C-alpha cells in the first residue's frame, strides 16, 4: 500500500496535459501531496525542451504526481528524478529484461525509449516548494508516428496487451517507496541504485558536446546530477542536461 502517492487519483478521459491540470489544482490551493492525475488522452502532452509527447488515446499511461519535497535544497533536485525513474525501472523489470535509465530521466528497453519524465519544480527561497512529476509510459501502443524519440511500448516487447490499471498500481507503489527513502534522507541507496541501472555506464559510446563528436565513457553522476564522462584523452567532463547528446548507435 502506497503511503504518500496515489491516495487521491483523478482519472480524466482527456485534458490538455496532466502536468497543466496538476498545476491548476495546486494553484487553486486544494491539492494534497501525492495527488495523482491520470488521463487517457492529452491534447497538448508536453515532453522535455518543448517537445510534444505522442500517445494514442487510451493506450498508454499518462500521469502526473504532485509532491511537496520542501525538505530538499534545490541543489539536490535531481534526487526527485532518481526516485521517479527508479520506481519506473522497478515496475518495468517485472515485465521484461533490458530495462535501464538513460540520464537524466528516460527509461529505455534496449536502445529504445519506453517512458519519459517531465519534472516541473517551483522554488521557494533555497528549497523546492512544489514538484509536478509528469510520466508518459508507453504501454499498449503498437505504432508510433514520431521516430524522433526512438519509441517503443511494453506491449511491443512482451507481445500481449497489458492491464493499465495493474501497471499503474505497481508504478505508484514503487515510486512511493523510493520517495519515502528520499524523505528519510537515504541518499546512499538511491544514488547507488540509480548508478547501477544507468544506460551505458562504463561502456564506450559516441556522444556530441559543444566541441563536437567524441567517444567517451559514462563513469558517474555527480552530487548535483550532472553526467560525468571520461573522454578519449582521459579528461573527465561534467554535463548538465542538453550539454551532451547521445548518439543512437
Q: Least distance in Å: CB of 65 to ligand BTN?
A: 10
Q: Least distance in Å: CB of 137 to ligand BTN?
A: 8
Judged by DSSP in three states, 8 sits in coil
Q: Least distance in Å: CB of 39 to ligand BTN?
A: 7
Cβ-contact 91, 171 below 8 angstroms:
yes
Instruction: List b or e across 227-246, with b for residues whose CB sees 16 or more CB atoms inside 10 angstroms.
Output: bebbeeeeeebebeeeebeb
**What Cα–Cα distance (Å) separates residue 170 from each residue in 26, 150, 188?**
25, 25, 24
Comparison of 179 and 211: residue with beta carbon closer to ligand BTN: 179
Q: Least distance in Å: CB of 169 to ligand BTN?
A: 17
Task: Using CB positions, name the residue nearest to ligand BTN.
Answer: 116
Q: Looking at the chain, how many residues does it have?
A: 249
Comparison of 33 and 120: residue with beta carbon closer to ligand BTN: 120
Q: Least distance in Å: CB of 139 to ligand BTN?
A: 12
Comparison of 15 and 226: residue with beta carbon closer to ligand BTN: 15
Cβ-contact 115, 54 below 8 angstroms:
no
Q: Least distance in Å: CB of 201 to ligand BTN?
A: 20
Comparison of 84 and 229: residue with beta carbon closer to ligand BTN: 84
Residues 222, 218: Cα–Cα separation, whole Å: 11
Q: CA angle at residue 174 from 172 to 180, to 5 degrees?
A: 95
Provide the binding-site residues for ligand BTN, judged by CB under 6 A. Answer: 17-19, 42, 45-48, 51, 53, 62-64, 106, 116-118, 134-136
- Count, in order, helices (H) and strands (E) of the chain: 5, 12
Comparison of 14 and 232: residue with beta carbon closer to ligand BTN: 14
Residue at grid coordinates 517512458? 115
Residue at grid coordinates 517503443? 152
Q: Least distance in Å: CB of 3 to ligand BTN?
A: 23
Comparison of 120 and 173: residue with beta carbon closer to ligand BTN: 120
Comparison of 40 and 90: residue with beta carbon closer to ligand BTN: 40
Q: CA angle at residue 116 from 65 to 47, to 5 degrees?
A: 85
Amino acid at each position: 500500500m502506497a503511503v504518500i502517492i496515489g491516495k487521491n487519483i483523478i482519472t480524466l478521459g482527456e485534458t490538455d496535459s496532466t502536468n497543466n491540470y496538476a498545476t491548476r489544482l495546486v494553484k487553486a490551493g486544494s491539492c494534497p501531496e501525492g495527488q495523482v492525475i491520470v488521463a487517457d488522452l492529452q491534447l497538448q502532452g508536453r515532453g522535455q525542451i518543448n517537445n510534444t509527447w505522442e500517445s494514442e488515446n487510451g493506450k498508454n499511461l499518462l500521469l502526473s504526481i504532485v509532491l511537496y519535497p520542501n525538505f530538499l535544497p534545490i541543489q539536490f533536485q535531481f534526487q526527485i528524478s532518481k526516485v521517479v525513474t527508479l520506481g519506473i525501472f522497478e515496475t518495468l523489470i517485472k515485465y521484461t529484461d533490458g530495462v535501464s535509465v538513460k540520464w537524466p530521466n528516460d527509461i529505455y528497453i534496449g536502445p529504445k525509449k519506453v517512458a519519459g519524465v517531465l519534472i516541473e519544480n517551483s522554488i521557494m527561497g533555497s528549497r523546492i516548494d512544489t514538484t509536478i512529476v509528469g510520466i508518459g509510459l508507453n504501454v499498449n501502443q503498437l505504432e508510433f508516428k514520431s521516430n524522433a524519440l526512438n519509441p517503443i511500448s511494453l506491449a511491443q516487447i512482451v507481445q500481449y496487451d497489458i492491464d493499465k490499471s495493474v501497471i499503474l498500481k505497481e508504478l505508484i507503489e514503487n515510486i512511493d517507496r523510493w520517495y519515502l527513502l528520499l524523505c528519510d534522507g537515504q541518499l546512499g541507496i538511491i544514488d547507488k541504485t540509480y548508478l547501477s541501472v544507468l544506460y551505458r555506464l562504463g561502456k564506450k559510446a559516441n556522444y556530441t558536446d559543444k566541441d563536437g563528436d567524441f567517444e567517451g565513457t559514462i563513469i558517474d553522476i555527480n552530487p548535483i546530477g550532472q553526467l560525468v564522462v571520461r573522454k578519449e584523452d582521459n579528461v573527465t567532463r561534467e554535463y548538465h542536461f542538453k550539454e551532451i547528446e547521445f548518439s543512437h548507435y
